[in-house]
Amino acid sequence: MSTTEFTSNYGPWAVVAGASEGIGESFSRQIAAAGINLVLVARRPDPLTALATSLESEFQIQTRPIALDLTDDDMCDRLAEATADIEVGLVVYNAGATHGAVRFHDEPVEKSLGLVRLNCTGPVQLTHHFGGLMRERGRGGIILLSSVSSVSGSARTATYSATKAFDVNLAEGLWAELKPLGVDVLALVAGATHTPAMERSGALIGSAEFPGMDPNDVAREGLANLANGPTWVAGDQNRATYDMLRALPKKDAVGFMSAGARTIYGLPDEP
């Protein structure tokens, strides 16, 4: 798809939820490079404002940085209000990584419920609001970030992998409903990616042993395949792993993913 087609299909404004760093920043830069204006969402205002300023001067686009927590009850109302006067043709719901690998019962239930709000409630709210407007217009695009961990359950990341499976199924169902009406929907399945959030969490991603993908490559594949939904796995190696896992007996897939969660955080084998 040419840049002109991309802009006319998915412009003039995009919302990136979880925009200020990592894969979200890569999405924001690449969307800005296509000439689409950006509503940038994240919790910390300073990195958000810095990104907005840099994108405006580098790409001559308009931005609206909005500092909010995507798990807040009123977040969709606030975003709807902040975008009431503009046409949003593209939504990327990026925020949603889990940080750490902890047994379900070794942390308060609020931790899991927060992840459900971020990865399930948030995407439902934003796709309902913005996707509904896109359906009326007969054009637009939605990308929900998922993970290779969506393919099976996993010890120590049980809620995370469950929410990421939710995102895949949500995107696939919406793809079936909206694609015939002119709106592209994609579940973008990422594997280990070297992001600041992952680095801060103590994950070994980014080390010589587990380099992980470059966030720019994940975003590039997502945007290039937005019209090729319902699902796209970023990276050759991740596609091979994803297919291998889907073909395994479930208990073997769960064992593989559980071992992977431990390995990435340098945790010892369990009894």
Ligand X SMILES: NC(=O)c1ccc[n+]([C@@H]2O[C@H](COP(=O)([O-])OP(=O)(O)OC[C@H]3O[C@@H](n4cnc5c(N)ncnc54)[C@H](OP(=O)(O)O)[C@@H]3O)[C@@H](O)[C@H]2O)c1
- Residues near ligand X (CB under 6 A): 18-24, 41-44, 69-71, 94-97, 118, 145, 147, 190-193, 195, 197-198, 205, 212
Count Cβ atoms within 10 A of the Cβ of residue 140 and give its class: 0-12 exposed, 13-18 middle, 19 or more buried.
Answer: buried
To the nearest whole angstrom, how small is the minimum distance from the Cβ of residue 11 to ligand X? 22
Tokens 């920043």 map to which residue? 25
> Closest CB to ligand X among 9 and 195?
195
Beta carbons of 167 and 119 less than 8 angstroms apart: yes
**Residue among 73, 75, 55 nearest 63 (CA):** 55
> Closest CB to ligand X among 22 and 229?
22
> Closest CB to ligand X among 43 and 262?
43
Residues found in the chain: 271
To the nearest whole angstrom, how small is the minimum distance from the Cβ of residue 242 to ligand X? 11
Residues 6+ apart with CB under 8 A from 190: 23, 145, 146, 147, 148, 213, 218, 234, 235, 238
To the nearest whole angstrom, how small is the minimum distance from the Cβ of residue 199 to ligand X? 9
Residues 6+ apart with CB under 8 A from 212: 191, 192, 193, 194, 198, 205, 206
Q: Active-site positions? A: 160, 164
> Closest CB to ligand X among 9 and 150?
150
User: Torsion over CA of 56, 59, 61 and 66, rounded to 10 degrees?
Assistant: -50
To the nearest whole angstrom, how small is the minimum distance from the Cβ of residue 196 to ligand X? 7
